[in-house]
Amino acid sequence: MAARRTAIVFGANTEVGKTLCSAALIKAGLRRFGRAAYLKPLQTGVDDDHAGDAALVKRYAAAGLGRCDTLHAWRAYASPHVAARQEGGQIPSDAELARAVSGWMRAGDEPFGVVETAGGCLSPTATGRPQADAYAGLDVPALLVGDARLGGISCSLCAWEALVRRGFDVRSIIFVGDDAALGNAEAVRAVTGLGDGVLSTVAPPPLPEPLGGWLSETAECFDAVCASVL
For residue 88, the tally of other CB atoms under 10 A from its CB is: 7
C-beta separation of 30 from 157 below 8 A: no
DSSP notation for 125-193? -TTSSBHHHHHGGG---EEEEE--STTHHHHHHHHHHHHHHTT--EEEEEEET--GGGTHHHHHHHHH-
Amino acid in position 118: A
Three-state secondary-structure class, residue 7 = strand
Query: Is 40 labeled as catalytic in the residue annotation?
Result: yes
CA pair distance 217, 211, nearest whole angstrom: 10
Enumerate the active-site residues: 40
